[in-house]
Each structure stands twice: as structure tokens, then as C-alpha cells.
Amino acid sequence: MAKTTCHVPVIDLSATDDEVAKALDHAFTEMGFAVLVGHGIPTCVIAAAREAVVKYFEQPLDQKLPDRITRDNYRGYIPLGFFSPNSAGQSADHYEGYKLHLEVDASDPICATCDLYGPNKWPAGQPAMRDAILNYWRACDDLTARLLALLAGILNIDAPRLLDSFEQSLTNMTLLHYPPQDANESGLGIHAHKDTDALTLLAPDPVGGLLIRPRDRSEWIEIDAPTDSVIVNIGDLLELWSGGYFVSTPHKVINRSGRARFSFPYFAVPRFDTVVSPLVPACAGFNRAEVPVGDVSREVWRTNWPDTTPGTQGYDLGTLSD
């Protein structure tokens, strides 16, 4: 079957703030995704992060299993096909991963306040991985801060009002390896979903496989992005903050390239005690309940386990029917 390729708006962040804001406004109200160039993250930083991800997943399984995630610590190795898509009747996602959260020392008082915080697990056999990933993480923090300030300007709200919510945030990353899928396989690398964060940043893998479904399209279309770019998309929390002005767009991954696919998305999530509700008058027809960030984050992570189902809190956990 021929692929339909999606040319999402390409935005040069080296342009003036006014030019960038205008382009972001168009991209995030129409498609919810944009491809960023001139983003300021050095090529060597992205390359080092990718090299660390590839090197980690190339290890034998018995070297990865000791760092496996546990129910009481959602950090570390995620075996291939382990997580369900939070929806009965769907196949497990076809990836293996490594989960990382904001690096917080166990002695930090916030750990006693909220159990979602704490130190990461770092693989003993991959000493360079920590530095490579944290260097990339810090660069993503800087890029996110600039994007949030620009989006605050678009919404005509004070930037500190948005940025202060990301002090001691629940921002996290998932390092991912998608083995090639046979053309006849029905499963997905990652099931159809919308992100439950504020913003997602992704350095594209040249093998492709990221598909989105913009609101004016019925079919899934594949994103085509230069390898030195960064893909950014709106998550549900920023859609809610904007009263539906910005669009959180469904997406999924299918890897039928015949090659291994590696990615390391960065998910910008506010502090645990943030309650997200519209900061501007909601668009016509947009009516969603406020979201307590800590409670929703805990429920999303809890229900990733294969033997759990979502509770009755009524939170949108992101999973969609394909």
C-alpha cells in the first residue's frame, strides 16, 4: 500500500519572534504538529543521544532486564511487547523502551510530597548514557521554555504564568526501539493516541513510521521531516490551557521499514500540583474538565501495566481507537 506523506509546517526558529509566533500559531491551530529547524540543539548533542539509545538497546536482553521497571518505580527498562494500550482488545505495543523522569535526588523534599519524583535508574553497563541523555534533556528544556513563552504570547497571557508551572516538573522521556514489523502484521509500534503532556519534542528517525491524523483528514498520513530537525506537537494539557485553540492531534507509529527504528521523545509535563484549565475563553464547542496533573500522570503510568484497567476518575488517558 502506498504511503501518504504529510508535509507538516516547517518553522525556522532562527527567524524573529514575531515571524516564529505567526508560524506556530498557524501550525498548532491547524495540525497540532510542526517541524522545527534552526532550533538551537547542536547536531552533536542529538547524535550523542541517539548513539546512546542505539547502544543500549543493542545489548543482550539479560543485560537489560536487571534495570526493568517495577510497579512502585516507573523508571528503567520496558521489555518488548510488555505494555498494553490502555484499551481492551488491542495488541500490546511493539517496542522496547527505557523510561526516564526528571532527575531528582531521593533526599529532595518533593519526593516526600509526591511519590512520582525520585532518582532515575541508569544502566551500569552504559556509563556514557547518562551524560548524553541529560545533555539532550537540558537542550530540550531550553527549547521548550522558548516555545512556551511564544505560545503564551499567542494566547495573550503572561509567559511566567505558564513557565512557573514547569518548575520541578513531571517532564519525562522514553527511549524507544521499534523492531521492524512484517508488512502483514496487524500490530502497531505504538497504538493510536494523543499525548497527555503539554508539548512533545522528537528528533526524527530517518526510517520514518510516525503517522498523524489531522482533524480535517480521515486517513493516517506519515510525517516527512529532515533528520536535523525537531518535531514538536501539542499535547492535551496545552490544548486545554488554550481552551481548544491549539490542537492535540492523534498519532501512532508503525515500523515497516525493514530496519530498526530508534527514538527518544521528550514530554514536557507541568509540576505535580498543577491543575490545568483554560487560561483564555474556551473555543466554541470545547468543553473539557480541568486536569490535576499529578493524579492523571499517576493513572497513566499505573494503567500501562498489562493487568490493569483505567479507573473511574473520568480522566482522558490519551488512547484512541484506530
Residue 127's φ and ψ, nearest 5 degrees, are -65, -25
pLDDT at position 72, please?
A: 84
Q: Of residues 295 and 217, which shows the higher confidence score? A: 295
Contacts of 89 (CB under 8 A, 6+ apart): none
For the structural domain made of 5-302, what CATH number should be given? 2.60.120.330
Question: Does residue 239 have a pLDDT over 90?
Answer: yes
- Per DSSP, the three-state class of 45 is helix
Distance CA 267, CA 282 (A): 24
pLDDT at position 8, please?
A: 86
- Per DSSP, the three-state class of 285 is coil
pLDDT at position 67, please?
A: 94
| Polymer length of the chain | 322
Q: Name the amino acid, one letter, at 312.
A: T
Ranked by mean pLDDT, the top range of 207-211, 237-241, 250-254 is 237-241
Q: Of residues 93 and 317, which shows the higher confidence score? A: 93
At 7-37, the pLDDT tens digits run: 789 999 999 999 999 999 999 999 999 999 9
At 129-157, the pLDDT tens digits run: 999 999 999 999 999 999 999 999 999 99
Taking a C-beta distance cutoff of 8 angstroms, is the pair 298, 72 a contact? no
Domain ranges, ordered by start, for the chain: 5-302
Based on the number of CB atoms within 10 Å of its own CB, is 127 exposed (0-12), middle (13-18) or buried (19 or more)?
exposed
pLDDT at position 283, please?
A: 95
Distance CA 64, CA 78 (A): 9
The mean pLDDT value for 253-279 works out to 95
Distance of CA 60 to the CA centre of its chain: 26
Contacts of 94 (CB under 8 A, 6+ apart): 80, 81, 178, 179, 181, 185, 187, 188, 189, 255
The mean pLDDT value for 68-96 works out to 80
Distance CA 207, CA 262 (A): 9
Question: Does residue 85 have a pLDDT over 70?
Answer: no
Query: Where would I find the beta strands (DSSP E) of 5-122?
Result: 5-6, 10-12, 33-37, 76-78, 96-101
**How many alpha carbons lie under 13 Å from residue 111 in its C-beta half-sphere?**
12
Q: For the chain, how are helix, strand and coil distributed in percent, rounded to 5? A: 30, 20, 50
Based on the number of CB atoms within 10 Å of its own CB, is 149 exposed (0-12), middle (13-18) or buried (19 or more)?
middle
Residue 87: pLDDT band with limits 50, 70, 90: low
The mean pLDDT value for 201-211 works out to 93
* Averaged pLDDT score across all residues of the chain: 90
Question: Does residue 2 have a pLDDT over 50?
Answer: no
Residue 184: pLDDT band with limits 50, 70, 90: low
The mean pLDDT value for 167-181 works out to 95
Question: Does residue 232 have a pLDDT over 50?
Answer: yes
Give me 228's grid cell: 536535523
- For residue 281, how many other CB atoms are within 10 A of its CB? 9
pLDDT at position 153, please?
A: 97
- For residue 164, how many other CB atoms are within 10 A of its CB? 12
- Per DSSP, the three-state class of 276 is strand
Question: Does residue 312 have a pLDDT over 70?
Answer: no
The C-alpha angle with vertex 29 and arms to 27 and 34, in degrees rounded to 5, equals 25
Of 33-37, 73-77, 309-313, 314-318, the one with minimum mean pLDDT is: 314-318
- For residue 296, how many other CB atoms are within 10 A of its CB? 21
Of 57-61, 120-124, 180-184, the one with minimum mean pLDDT is: 180-184
pLDDT at position 181, please?
A: 80
